[in-house]
Amino acid sequence: MIRVIVYIITICLGLLSNGVFATVTVKNAVSFSTALQNSNDGDSIILKKGVYQLSNINITKSISIIGEDGTIIDGGGDAIFVLSAPNILIESISFRNVGVSYIQELSAIRILKTKNCCISNNKFVNCFFAIYVERSDSCTITNNTIHGESSTEASSGNAIHLWYSNYAIIKNNYTRSHRDGVYLEFVTHSIIENNISEKNLRYGLHFMFSHDNVYRYNEFRNNSAGVAVMYSENVTMIANKFIDNWGSNCYGLLLKDIRRSTLTQNEFIRNTVGIHLDNALDLQIDSNQFTDNGWAVRIMSNSYDNQISYNNFIDNTFEFTTTGKHNINQVDNNYWSSYSGYDINKDGIGDIPHRPVSLFSYIISTSQASIILLRSLFIELLNFAERVVPVFTPETLSDKSPLIKPV
């Protein structure tokens, strides 16, 4: 009987020790290090308001680290946290001063070979890489504000960087003045949603070899280029805004070596090029708005089998341009503000085709200096003559069913 009672007590003590999680409040770097060392899986560490000088902290337990309002962790020019256990939460902390390195990716938070980590409601200022996720799945990055301070690509890392990581959720973040706002390489089955990415030195969002992903309801503005999707398949792009990505060799959206993807309900406003397609195949591009862009759509001759329908093209300097004499894309049922045809039977569809590639856009693609002639009477006459008798522009690239009213 005594042995049975002792056995039951032992089991109960074990359950209590495993089921009760501790919450420890700390107020300086020393007490934080002590609390981290003594913590167990499931515990929480609360950081009191103040500045903590911390660097190269390896977190190997499934814990939560939460800051009070005014909590700052200063890396002093080095990396700060490395997360190598699952189910870690980092919340409500301001990270600053992660130094630049040309041989390693110094990060405020690096998530390394784990899963189910959450980075939420934090601020990052002057961090080479803010959040770096490497070979880690099912991580959530939400409601973070990330400000870089670099002026050149060579000295700047990415705000949010994922490498060989899947099933991520990146939502409601603000990124600014990094190399890329969000960078994905070898990433699958992830969602990028409701983020704002602006004034980044290269791209607001950048895909490389990343398949089966969705990005939606994001805004990309004043970047060197809004978004680049490269060497990827099955990417769904819904209801994003590409605004004021303006300058030489700038795009709202660059689609290079991309297959079987969808682009719908997006807005392209005041970009040098709305969409640039280079070796883009089997894309569905519909229900998008192109307004006040230099070029609304630029298609290289190696892009084909794309369906471009039910889009609005309004007040763009050039609606389409292409490098080839032949078109193997389906362009129909779009609204073109420059359409000068008519609709006699009042069915909402123009009775004559619309040719979106002007002669001058073709000339510009071969001689950029000729832009000085834009809006001249001479160019207007050339464009009119080319529409009547196409010689240089692809005769097959026309919308045979142009809409009379915007979609």
Q: Does 226 map to a domain?
A: yes
pLDDT of 396: 65
pLDDT band at 359 (very low <50, low <70, confident <90, very high): low
Is the separation of the CB atoms in 340 and 316 below 8 Å?
no
pLDDT of 250: 86
* pLDDT exceeds 50 at position 12: no
Q: Please give the residue that has the higher pLDDT: either 222 or 387.
A: 222
* pLDDT exceeds 90 at position 262: yes
Q: 3-class SS at 175? A: strand
Segment 139-159 shows an average pLDDT of 93
Q: Does 257 map to a domain?
A: yes
Neighbours of 80 (CB within 10 A): 26
CATH, residue 352: 2.160.20.10
Interatomic CA distance for residues 159 and 309, integer angstroms: 35
> In which residue are the tokens 């074990």 written?
14
Q: Does 32 map to a domain?
A: no
Q: How far is CA 337 from CA 121, 291, 383, 387, in A?
A: 43, 10, 16, 16
Q: Which of 144, 135, 146, 76 is nearest to 111 (CA)?
A: 135
Number of continuous H segments (helices) and E segments (strands) in the chain = 4, 37
* pTM for this prediction: 0.88
Is the separation of the CB atoms in 283 and 258 below 8 Å?
yes
* pLDDT exceeds 60 at position 4: no
For residue 165, what are the contacts with CB-CB under 8 A and spacing of at least 6?
A: 111, 133, 134, 135, 136, 137, 139, 187, 190
Element (H, E) at 197: strand 196-198
Segment 345-364 shows an average pLDDT of 77
* 71-80, 233-242, 284-293, 346-355: the lowest-pLDDT one: 346-355
For residue 391, what are the contacts with CB-CB under 8 A and spacing of at least 6?
A: none
Encode pLDDT of 292-330 as tens digits. Answer: 998 999 999 899 999 999 999 999 988 988 876 777 899
Q: Please give the residue that has the higher pLDDT: either 179 or 322.
A: 179
pLDDT of 141: 98
Instruction: State whether the Cα torsion 55-56-61-63 is positive or negative.
Output: positive
Share of the chain above pLDDT 70, in %: 85
* 9-18, 137-146, 370-379: the lowest-pLDDT one: 9-18
Q: Does 243 map to a domain?
A: yes
Q: Report DSSP state, residue 174.
A: E
Q: Does 1 map to a domain?
A: no
Instruction: State whether the Cα torsion 256-261-262-266 is positive or negative.
Output: negative
* 36-40, 112-116, 266-270, 388-392: the lowest-pLDDT one: 388-392
Q: Does 397 map to a domain?
A: no
Q: Which of 79, 158, 154, 159 is nearest to 112 (CA)?
A: 79
Encode pLDDT of 82-98 as tens digits. Answer: 999 999 999 999 999 99
* 60-69, 162-171, 207-216, 393-402: the lowest-pLDDT one: 393-402
The mean of the pLDDT values for the chain is: 88
**Residue 255: domain span:** 45-388
Is the separation of the CB atoms in 316 and 290 below 8 Å?
yes
Q: Does 403 map to a domain?
A: no
For the chain, how many structural domains are there in total?
1
Neighbours of 210 (CB within 10 A): 25
* pLDDT exceeds 60 at position 291: yes
Interatomic CA distance for residues 396 and 324, integer angstroms: 11
In DSSP terms, 232 is beta-bridged to 258
Q: Does 145 map to a domain?
A: yes
